[in-house]
Structure 1
Protein backbone atom coordinates (compact mmCIF):
# COMPACT_ATOMS: atom_id res chain seq x y z
CA UNK A 1 0.00 0.00 0.00
CA UNK A 2 1.41 3.35 -1.05
CA UNK A 3 1.02 6.65 0.78
CA UNK A 4 -0.72 5.63 3.97
CA UNK A 5 -0.56 6.83 7.56
CA UNK A 6 -0.90 4.94 10.83
CA UNK A 7 -3.30 5.80 13.64
CA UNK A 8 -2.26 4.62 17.09
CA UNK A 9 -5.69 4.56 18.74
CA UNK A 10 -7.93 2.69 21.14
CA UNK A 11 -7.40 5.15 24.02
CA UNK A 12 -10.41 5.01 24.20
CA UNK A 13 -12.00 3.07 21.44
CA UNK A 14 -15.20 5.14 21.22
CA UNK A 15 -13.21 8.36 20.90
CA UNK A 16 -11.05 6.77 18.20
CA UNK A 17 -14.22 5.73 16.39
CA UNK A 18 -15.32 9.39 16.35
CA UNK A 19 -11.95 10.40 14.92
CA UNK A 20 -12.23 7.80 12.16
CA UNK A 21 -15.83 8.76 11.40
CA UNK A 22 -14.96 12.43 11.01
CA UNK A 23 -11.82 11.57 9.03
CA UNK A 24 -13.83 9.62 6.46
CA UNK A 25 -16.70 12.11 6.47
CA UNK A 26 -14.47 15.09 5.72
CA UNK A 27 -12.23 13.44 3.13
CA UNK A 28 -13.03 14.99 -0.28
CA UNK A 29 -13.85 11.68 -1.94
CA UNK A 30 -16.40 10.71 -4.61
CA UNK A 31 -15.34 7.10 -5.12
CA UNK A 32 -13.81 4.29 -3.10
CA UNK A 33 -10.38 5.03 -4.50
CA UNK A 34 -10.39 8.68 -3.40
CA UNK A 35 -10.56 7.88 0.31
CA UNK A 36 -7.36 7.83 2.36
CA UNK A 37 -5.10 4.86 2.94
CA UNK A 38 -4.46 4.25 6.63
CA UNK A 39 -3.81 1.57 9.22
CA UNK A 40 -5.70 1.77 12.51
CA UNK A 41 -4.05 0.20 15.54
CA UNK A 42 -6.91 0.09 18.04
CA UNK A 43 -4.79 -0.85 21.05
CA UNK A 44 -7.57 -0.89 23.64
CA UNK A 45 -5.51 -2.73 26.28
CA UNK A 46 -2.91 0.04 26.67
CA UNK A 47 -2.90 0.81 30.43
CA UNK A 48 -4.77 3.91 31.53
CA UNK A 49 -2.69 7.00 30.88
CA UNK A 50 -4.10 9.12 33.69
CA UNK A 51 -3.67 6.38 36.30
CA UNK A 52 0.02 6.12 35.45
CA UNK A 53 0.68 9.86 35.27
CA UNK A 54 -0.89 10.38 38.69
CA UNK A 55 0.74 7.29 40.22
CA UNK A 56 3.86 5.80 38.65
CA UNK A 57 3.34 2.55 40.59
CA UNK A 58 0.45 1.82 38.19
CA UNK A 59 1.07 -0.07 34.91
CA UNK A 60 2.83 2.12 32.35
CA UNK A 61 1.44 2.70 28.85
CA UNK A 62 4.91 3.51 27.51
CA UNK A 63 6.22 0.09 26.52
CA UNK A 64 3.04 -0.98 24.65
CA UNK A 65 3.05 2.35 22.80
CA UNK A 66 6.74 2.07 21.93
CA UNK A 67 6.10 -1.43 20.58
CA UNK A 68 3.23 -0.12 18.42
CA UNK A 69 5.35 2.65 16.94
CA UNK A 70 8.30 0.34 16.25
CA UNK A 71 6.06 -2.25 14.61
CA UNK A 72 4.21 0.24 12.44
CA UNK A 73 7.35 2.21 11.54
CA UNK A 74 8.68 -0.94 9.89
CA UNK A 75 5.79 -0.70 7.40
CA UNK A 76 6.80 2.79 6.28
CA UNK A 77 3.79 5.08 6.84
CA UNK A 78 4.06 8.69 5.74
CA UNK A 79 3.24 9.84 9.27
CA UNK A 80 1.58 8.83 12.54
CA UNK A 81 -1.41 10.22 14.39
CA UNK A 82 -2.08 9.66 18.09
CA UNK A 83 -5.70 10.59 18.86
CA UNK A 84 -5.30 10.55 22.63
CA UNK A 85 -4.36 13.80 24.31
CA UNK A 86 -3.08 12.27 27.55
CA UNK A 87 -0.80 9.86 25.66
CA UNK A 88 1.17 12.87 24.42
CA UNK A 89 2.85 12.77 27.83
CA UNK A 90 5.11 10.20 26.13
CA UNK A 91 5.55 12.13 22.87
CA UNK A 92 9.29 12.79 23.15
CA UNK A 93 10.00 9.15 24.03
CA UNK A 94 7.88 7.92 21.13
CA UNK A 95 9.75 10.20 18.74
CA UNK A 96 13.01 8.49 19.71
CA UNK A 97 12.00 5.17 18.12
CA UNK A 98 11.13 6.52 14.65
CA UNK A 99 12.13 9.25 12.22
CA UNK A 100 8.60 9.23 10.78
CA UNK A 101 6.64 12.39 11.75
CA UNK A 102 4.13 12.09 14.61
CA UNK A 103 1.42 14.74 14.66
CA UNK A 104 1.26 16.52 18.03
CA UNK A 105 -2.43 17.04 18.78
CA UNK A 106 -2.07 19.64 21.60
CA UNK A 107 0.39 21.67 19.52
CA UNK A 108 -1.92 21.62 16.50
CA UNK A 109 -4.88 22.73 18.64
CA UNK A 110 -3.02 25.72 20.07
CA UNK A 111 -1.74 26.69 16.62
CA UNK A 112 -5.35 26.59 15.38
CA UNK A 113 -6.32 29.20 17.99
CA UNK A 114 -3.69 31.58 16.65
CA UNK A 115 -4.88 31.07 13.09
CA UNK A 116 -8.61 31.29 13.72
CA UNK A 117 -9.30 33.16 16.98
CA UNK A 118 -6.89 36.06 16.77
CA UNK A 119 -8.61 38.26 19.38
CA UNK A 120 -8.61 35.57 22.07
CA UNK A 121 -6.39 36.04 25.12
CA UNK A 122 -7.93 33.91 27.90
CA UNK A 123 -7.86 30.21 26.94
CA UNK A 124 -9.48 27.58 29.14
CA UNK A 125 -8.70 23.87 29.26
CA UNK A 126 -10.89 20.94 30.23
CA UNK A 127 -9.35 17.48 30.18
CA UNK A 128 -8.51 14.39 32.20
CA UNK A 129 -6.61 14.88 35.43
CA UNK A 130 -3.68 13.16 33.72
CA UNK A 131 -3.49 15.85 31.07
CA UNK A 132 -3.79 18.47 33.81
CA UNK A 133 -0.92 16.86 35.70
CA UNK A 134 1.43 16.42 32.75
CA UNK A 135 1.01 20.06 31.59
CA UNK A 136 1.17 19.16 27.89
CA UNK A 137 -1.50 21.75 27.11
CA UNK A 138 -0.45 24.22 29.79
CA UNK A 139 3.01 24.58 28.28
CA UNK A 140 1.74 24.95 24.70
CA UNK A 141 -0.97 27.47 25.64
CA UNK A 142 1.29 29.67 27.74
CA UNK A 143 4.19 29.46 25.28
CA UNK A 144 1.82 30.88 22.65
CA UNK A 145 1.20 33.90 24.89
CA UNK A 146 -2.29 33.09 26.18
CA UNK A 147 -3.61 33.35 29.73
CA UNK A 148 -4.35 29.77 30.81
CA UNK A 149 -7.63 29.25 32.70
CA UNK A 150 -8.03 25.92 34.48
CA UNK A 151 -11.22 24.44 35.95
CA UNK A 152 -11.81 24.50 39.68
CA UNK A 153 -12.31 21.30 41.66
CA UNK A 154 -16.06 21.22 41.03
CA UNK A 155 -15.72 21.59 37.26
CA UNK A 156 -12.93 19.00 37.17
CA UNK A 157 -15.11 16.51 39.05
CA UNK A 158 -17.94 17.14 36.59
CA UNK A 159 -15.51 16.65 33.70
CA UNK A 160 -14.27 13.36 35.18
CA UNK A 161 -17.88 12.21 35.50
CA UNK A 162 -18.63 13.06 31.89
CA UNK A 163 -15.51 11.31 30.58
CA UNK A 164 -15.40 8.18 32.71
CA UNK A 165 -18.89 7.46 34.07
CA UNK A 166 -20.55 8.72 30.90
CA UNK A 167 -18.55 8.10 27.73
CA UNK A 168 -16.04 5.41 28.73
CA UNK A 169 -18.38 3.30 30.88
CA UNK A 170 -21.73 3.77 29.14
CA UNK A 171 -21.08 5.28 25.70
CA UNK A 172 -23.36 8.10 26.82
CA UNK A 173 -22.99 11.87 26.61
CA UNK A 174 -24.91 13.79 29.27
CA UNK A 175 -25.75 16.87 27.21
CA UNK A 176 -26.84 18.95 30.20
CA UNK A 177 -23.64 18.16 32.11
CA UNK A 178 -21.38 18.81 29.12
CA UNK A 179 -22.99 22.16 28.35
CA UNK A 180 -22.94 23.15 32.04
CA UNK A 181 -19.20 22.48 32.24
CA UNK A 182 -18.58 24.77 29.29
CA UNK A 183 -21.03 27.40 30.53
CA UNK A 184 -19.11 27.64 33.78
CA UNK A 185 -15.76 27.92 32.00
CA UNK A 186 -17.01 30.75 29.79
CA UNK A 187 -19.41 32.62 32.06
CA UNK A 188 -17.87 32.08 35.49
CA UNK A 189 -14.18 31.65 34.69
CA UNK A 190 -14.11 34.29 31.96
CA UNK A 191 -12.67 32.13 29.16
CA UNK A 192 -12.73 33.46 25.62
CA UNK A 193 -12.09 30.00 24.16
CA UNK A 194 -11.99 26.54 25.75
CA UNK A 195 -9.80 23.68 24.57
CA UNK A 196 -11.25 20.17 24.69
CA UNK A 197 -8.13 18.37 25.89
CA UNK A 198 -9.59 14.87 25.92
CA UNK A 199 -10.93 12.88 22.99
CA UNK A 200 -13.98 11.78 25.01
CA UNK A 201 -14.83 15.48 25.24
CA UNK A 202 -14.40 15.69 21.47
CA UNK A 203 -16.89 12.83 21.20
CA UNK A 204 -19.27 14.84 23.39
CA UNK A 205 -18.85 17.87 21.12
CA UNK A 206 -19.51 15.68 18.08
CA UNK A 207 -22.75 14.28 19.52
CA UNK A 208 -24.02 17.24 21.55
CA UNK A 209 -22.29 20.32 20.12
CA UNK A 210 -21.88 23.41 22.27
CA UNK A 211 -22.22 26.44 20.02
CA UNK A 212 -22.58 29.40 22.39
CA UNK A 213 -18.87 30.28 22.55
CA UNK A 214 -15.63 29.20 20.77
CA UNK A 215 -14.77 25.57 21.55
CA UNK A 216 -11.36 24.36 20.39
CA UNK A 217 -11.90 20.69 19.55
CA UNK A 218 -8.41 19.16 19.48
CA UNK A 219 -9.55 15.94 17.83
CA UNK A 220 -11.46 17.76 15.12
CA UNK A 221 -8.38 19.87 14.41
CA UNK A 222 -6.30 16.68 14.25
CA UNK A 223 -8.75 15.28 11.69
CA UNK A 224 -8.28 18.28 9.42
CA UNK A 225 -4.49 18.19 9.79
CA UNK A 226 -4.46 14.46 9.06
CA UNK A 227 -6.42 14.91 5.84
CA UNK A 228 -4.19 17.80 4.77
CA UNK A 229 -0.97 15.82 5.27
CA UNK A 230 -2.37 12.65 3.70
CA UNK A 231 -3.48 14.47 0.54
CA UNK A 232 -0.14 16.26 0.30
CA UNK A 233 1.74 12.97 0.67
CA UNK A 234 -0.47 11.35 -1.96
CA UNK A 235 0.36 14.22 -4.32
CA UNK A 236 4.06 13.57 -3.81
CA UNK A 237 4.75 16.60 -1.61
CA UNK A 238 7.27 16.43 1.18
CA UNK A 239 5.60 16.61 4.60
Structure 2
Protein backbone atom coordinates (compact mmCIF):
# COMPACT_ATOMS: atom_id res chain seq x y z
CA UNK A 1 0.00 0.00 0.00
CA UNK A 2 1.23 3.46 -0.93
CA UNK A 3 0.10 7.00 -0.09
CA UNK A 4 -1.42 6.09 3.26
CA UNK A 5 -1.25 7.42 6.80
CA UNK A 6 -0.86 5.76 10.20
CA UNK A 7 -3.01 6.20 13.29
CA UNK A 8 -1.28 5.57 16.62
CA UNK A 9 -4.17 4.76 18.94
CA UNK A 10 -5.36 2.59 21.80
CA UNK A 11 -5.07 5.38 24.41
CA UNK A 12 -7.87 4.48 25.02
CA UNK A 13 -9.37 2.07 22.58
CA UNK A 14 -12.95 3.42 22.72
CA UNK A 15 -11.67 6.92 21.89
CA UNK A 16 -9.71 5.50 18.96
CA UNK A 17 -12.86 3.74 17.75
CA UNK A 18 -14.64 7.09 17.93
CA UNK A 19 -11.98 8.71 15.74
CA UNK A 20 -12.27 5.92 13.18
CA UNK A 21 -16.07 6.14 13.10
CA UNK A 22 -15.91 9.87 12.49
CA UNK A 23 -13.17 9.42 9.90
CA UNK A 24 -15.14 6.85 7.93
CA UNK A 25 -18.55 8.51 8.30
CA UNK A 26 -17.29 11.88 7.08
CA UNK A 27 -15.44 10.44 4.09
CA UNK A 28 -17.70 10.77 1.07
CA UNK A 29 -18.09 7.31 -0.44
CA UNK A 30 -20.15 5.40 -2.96
CA UNK A 31 -18.03 2.21 -2.98
CA UNK A 32 -15.39 0.41 -0.94
CA UNK A 33 -12.54 2.01 -2.86
CA UNK A 34 -13.59 5.55 -1.84
CA UNK A 35 -12.50 5.06 1.77
CA UNK A 36 -9.08 6.31 2.83
CA UNK A 37 -5.98 4.14 3.03
CA UNK A 38 -4.56 3.98 6.55
CA UNK A 39 -3.06 1.67 9.16
CA UNK A 40 -4.44 1.66 12.69
CA UNK A 41 -2.13 0.77 15.58
CA UNK A 42 -4.28 0.06 18.64
CA UNK A 43 -1.52 -0.08 21.25
CA UNK A 44 -3.73 -0.53 24.32
CA UNK A 45 -0.88 -1.53 26.64
CA UNK A 46 0.94 1.82 26.41
CA UNK A 47 1.55 2.90 30.05
CA UNK A 48 -0.87 5.47 31.44
CA UNK A 49 0.12 8.93 30.28
CA UNK A 50 -1.31 10.85 33.22
CA UNK A 51 0.33 8.55 35.78
CA UNK A 52 3.76 9.27 34.31
CA UNK A 53 3.24 13.02 33.96
CA UNK A 54 2.13 13.31 37.57
CA UNK A 55 4.79 10.92 38.91
CA UNK A 56 7.92 10.29 36.85
CA UNK A 57 8.71 7.22 38.95
CA UNK A 58 5.84 5.49 37.11
CA UNK A 59 6.52 3.74 33.76
CA UNK A 60 7.06 6.15 30.89
CA UNK A 61 4.89 5.87 27.79
CA UNK A 62 7.69 7.21 25.59
CA UNK A 63 9.43 3.89 24.76
CA UNK A 64 6.16 2.34 23.59
CA UNK A 65 5.27 5.24 21.30
CA UNK A 66 8.82 5.55 19.97
CA UNK A 67 8.69 1.85 19.15
CA UNK A 68 5.35 2.36 17.36
CA UNK A 69 6.50 5.24 15.19
CA UNK A 70 9.76 3.49 14.31
CA UNK A 71 7.92 0.34 13.29
CA UNK A 72 5.44 2.30 11.21
CA UNK A 73 8.19 4.39 9.63
CA UNK A 74 9.53 1.23 8.02
CA UNK A 75 6.24 1.05 6.08
CA UNK A 76 6.61 4.67 4.95
CA UNK A 77 3.28 6.33 5.70
CA UNK A 78 3.09 9.93 4.48
CA UNK A 79 2.07 11.19 7.94
CA UNK A 80 0.94 9.95 11.34
CA UNK A 81 -1.58 11.03 13.95
CA UNK A 82 -1.51 10.17 17.66
CA UNK A 83 -5.04 9.81 19.02
CA UNK A 84 -4.29 10.88 22.58
CA UNK A 85 -4.02 14.48 23.74
CA UNK A 86 -2.02 13.70 26.87
CA UNK A 87 0.64 11.80 24.91
CA UNK A 88 1.62 15.07 23.23
CA UNK A 89 3.44 15.93 26.45
CA UNK A 90 6.38 14.11 24.80
CA UNK A 91 5.57 15.13 21.22
CA UNK A 92 9.06 16.48 20.50
CA UNK A 93 10.71 13.26 21.65
CA UNK A 94 8.27 11.11 19.67
CA UNK A 95 8.67 13.21 16.52
CA UNK A 96 12.46 13.04 16.88
CA UNK A 97 12.23 9.26 16.46
CA UNK A 98 11.02 9.51 12.86
CA UNK A 99 11.27 11.67 9.74
CA UNK A 100 7.57 11.06 9.05
CA UNK A 101 5.50 14.13 10.06
CA UNK A 102 3.26 13.60 13.10
CA UNK A 103 0.31 16.00 13.21
CA UNK A 104 0.24 17.86 16.54
CA UNK A 105 -3.37 17.47 17.68
CA UNK A 106 -3.46 20.16 20.42
CA UNK A 107 -1.77 22.76 18.18
CA UNK A 108 -4.15 21.94 15.33
CA UNK A 109 -7.15 22.25 17.67
CA UNK A 110 -6.20 25.66 19.03
CA UNK A 111 -5.20 27.15 15.66
CA UNK A 112 -8.59 25.97 14.38
CA UNK A 113 -10.30 27.53 17.41
CA UNK A 114 -8.59 30.87 16.77
CA UNK A 115 -9.93 30.89 13.21
CA UNK A 116 -13.41 29.71 14.20
CA UNK A 117 -13.94 31.85 17.30
CA UNK A 118 -11.71 34.94 16.93
CA UNK A 119 -13.98 37.06 19.15
CA UNK A 120 -13.97 34.64 22.11
CA UNK A 121 -12.70 36.11 25.37
CA UNK A 122 -12.37 33.23 27.80
CA UNK A 123 -11.66 29.62 26.86
CA UNK A 124 -12.54 26.74 29.15
CA UNK A 125 -10.30 23.67 29.17
CA UNK A 126 -11.49 20.29 30.42
CA UNK A 127 -9.04 17.39 30.34
CA UNK A 128 -7.24 14.80 32.43
CA UNK A 129 -5.14 16.08 35.31
CA UNK A 130 -2.13 14.94 33.28
CA UNK A 131 -2.99 17.23 30.39
CA UNK A 132 -3.60 20.08 32.80
CA UNK A 133 -0.28 19.41 34.53
CA UNK A 134 1.72 19.35 31.30
CA UNK A 135 0.23 22.74 30.25
CA UNK A 136 0.16 21.77 26.54
CA UNK A 137 -3.31 23.20 25.91
CA UNK A 138 -2.94 25.98 28.45
CA UNK A 139 0.18 27.27 26.69
CA UNK A 140 -1.39 26.92 23.24
CA UNK A 141 -4.50 28.85 24.35
CA UNK A 142 -2.52 31.65 25.98
CA UNK A 143 -0.16 31.94 23.01
CA UNK A 144 -3.21 32.27 20.77
CA UNK A 145 -4.20 35.35 22.79
CA UNK A 146 -7.09 34.03 24.89
CA UNK A 147 -7.80 33.98 28.60
CA UNK A 148 -8.31 30.53 30.07
CA UNK A 149 -10.32 28.88 32.83
CA UNK A 150 -9.67 25.39 34.20
CA UNK A 151 -12.82 25.39 36.31
CA UNK A 152 -12.44 24.22 39.90
CA UNK A 153 -11.84 20.98 41.78
CA UNK A 154 -15.52 20.02 41.61
CA UNK A 155 -15.47 20.30 37.81
CA UNK A 156 -12.20 18.38 37.62
CA UNK A 157 -13.62 15.59 39.78
CA UNK A 158 -16.59 15.31 37.40
CA UNK A 159 -14.31 15.31 34.36
CA UNK A 160 -12.08 12.59 35.83
CA UNK A 161 -15.13 10.53 36.80
CA UNK A 162 -16.56 10.80 33.28
CA UNK A 163 -13.25 9.86 31.65
CA UNK A 164 -12.16 7.06 33.94
CA UNK A 165 -15.19 5.68 35.78
CA UNK A 166 -17.74 5.94 32.99
CA UNK A 167 -15.79 5.59 29.75
CA UNK A 168 -12.52 3.79 30.47
CA UNK A 169 -13.94 1.42 33.10
CA UNK A 170 -17.60 0.96 32.17
CA UNK A 171 -17.40 1.76 28.46
CA UNK A 172 -20.32 4.20 28.62
CA UNK A 173 -20.99 7.94 28.47
CA UNK A 174 -22.94 9.59 31.28
CA UNK A 175 -24.88 12.16 29.26
CA UNK A 176 -26.10 14.15 32.24
CA UNK A 177 -22.63 14.37 33.76
CA UNK A 178 -21.07 15.51 30.50
CA UNK A 179 -23.73 18.16 29.92
CA UNK A 180 -23.44 19.37 33.52
CA UNK A 181 -19.68 19.88 33.03
CA UNK A 182 -20.27 21.99 29.92
CA UNK A 183 -23.03 23.96 31.62
CA UNK A 184 -20.83 24.69 34.63
CA UNK A 185 -17.88 25.84 32.53
CA UNK A 186 -20.19 28.11 30.51
CA UNK A 187 -22.41 29.52 33.26
CA UNK A 188 -20.23 29.52 36.37
CA UNK A 189 -16.85 30.27 34.78
CA UNK A 190 -18.13 32.39 31.86
CA UNK A 191 -16.37 30.39 29.14
CA UNK A 192 -17.26 31.35 25.58
CA UNK A 193 -15.70 28.20 24.13
CA UNK A 194 -14.86 24.90 25.84
CA UNK A 195 -11.90 22.84 24.65
CA UNK A 196 -12.26 19.07 24.97
CA UNK A 197 -8.67 18.21 25.82
CA UNK A 198 -9.11 14.44 26.10
CA UNK A 199 -10.19 11.94 23.47
CA UNK A 200 -12.63 10.33 25.93
CA UNK A 201 -14.36 13.72 26.10
CA UNK A 202 -14.46 13.65 22.30
CA UNK A 203 -16.21 10.29 22.59
CA UNK A 204 -18.70 11.92 24.97
CA UNK A 205 -19.33 14.69 22.44
CA UNK A 206 -19.88 12.11 19.70
CA UNK A 207 -22.28 9.98 21.75
CA UNK A 208 -24.05 12.75 23.70
CA UNK A 209 -23.57 16.04 21.86
CA UNK A 210 -24.80 19.21 23.49
CA UNK A 211 -25.29 21.83 20.79
CA UNK A 212 -26.04 24.58 23.29
CA UNK A 213 -22.34 25.32 23.79
CA UNK A 214 -19.42 26.11 21.53
CA UNK A 215 -16.84 23.35 21.92
CA UNK A 216 -13.52 22.62 20.29
CA UNK A 217 -13.25 18.88 19.81
CA UNK A 218 -9.59 18.10 19.04
CA UNK A 219 -10.34 14.57 17.89
CA UNK A 220 -13.07 15.72 15.51
CA UNK A 221 -10.74 18.38 14.13
CA UNK A 222 -7.87 15.98 13.52
CA UNK A 223 -10.29 13.55 11.88
CA UNK A 224 -11.28 16.29 9.43
CA UNK A 225 -7.62 17.11 8.82
CA UNK A 226 -6.88 13.41 8.24
CA UNK A 227 -9.61 13.30 5.59
CA UNK A 228 -8.34 16.48 3.95
CA UNK A 229 -4.78 15.18 3.76
CA UNK A 230 -5.88 11.64 2.86
CA UNK A 231 -7.83 12.94 -0.14
CA UNK A 232 -4.79 14.92 -1.27
CA UNK A 233 -2.77 11.72 -1.16
CA UNK A 234 -5.47 9.99 -3.23
CA UNK A 235 -5.15 12.70 -5.87
CA UNK A 236 -1.37 12.53 -5.86
CA UNK A 237 -1.01 16.08 -4.52
CA UNK A 238 2.02 17.23 -2.60
CA UNK A 239 1.45 18.21 1.03
CA UNK A 240 3.32 21.09 2.63
CA UNK A 241 3.32 20.03 6.27
CA UNK A 242 4.65 23.41 7.35
CA UNK A 243 1.31 24.94 6.34
CA UNK A 244 -1.25 22.45 7.62
CA UNK A 245 -2.07 24.30 10.85
Interval of TM-score (by shorter of Structure 1 and Structure 2): over 0.9
Aligned to 1:95: 95
Is 1:118 aligned with 2:108?
A: no
SS of residue matched to 2:102: coil
Count residues with an aligned counterpart. 239
Distance in 2, Cα, partners of 1:117 & 1:132: 22
Pairing 1:100-111 to 2, within 5 Å after superposition: 100-111=100-111
Residue 201 of structure 1, CA deviation: 0.3
Distance in 1, Cα, partners of 2:90 & 2:236: 30
Deviations 1:165-195 (A, max 9, x none): 0000001111111101110100000000000
Deviations 1:106-152 (A, max 9, x none): 11110111221121121110000000000110111111101011121
Pairing 1:34-183 to 2, within 5 Å after superposition: 34-183=34-183
Distance in 1, Cα, partners of 2:18 & 2:42: 13
Residue 200 of structure 1, CA deviation: 0.3
SS of residue matched to 1:211: coil
Aligned to 1:220: 220
Is 1:16 aligned with 2:8?
A: no
Residue 50 of structure 1, CA deviation: 0.2
CA RMSD of aligned residues (A): 0.7
SS of residue matched to 1:125: strand
Over 4 Å off, 4+ runs: none
Deviations 1:17-73 (A, max 9, x none): 000010000011211111000000000000000000000111110001000000001
Distance in 2, Cα, partners of 1:121 & 1:100: 36
TM-score (norm 2): 0.96
Residue 219 of structure 1, CA deviation: 0.5
Distance in 1, Cα, partners of 2:134 & 2:114: 23
SS of residue matched to 2:194: strand
Deviations 1:180-224 (A, max 9, x none): 111010000000000000000000000000111101111000100
Runs of 5+ unmatched residues, structure 1: none
My pick for the range that moved more, 189-198 or 91-100, is 91-100
Runs of 5+ unmatched residues, structure 2: 240-245
My pick for the range that moved more, 115-124 or 47-56, is 115-124
SS of residue matched to 1:200: helix
Aligned to 2:243: none
Is 1:205 aligned with 2:208?
A: no
TM-score (norm 1): 0.98
SS of residue matched to 1:56: coil
Distance in 2, Cα, partners of 1:57 & 1:44: 21
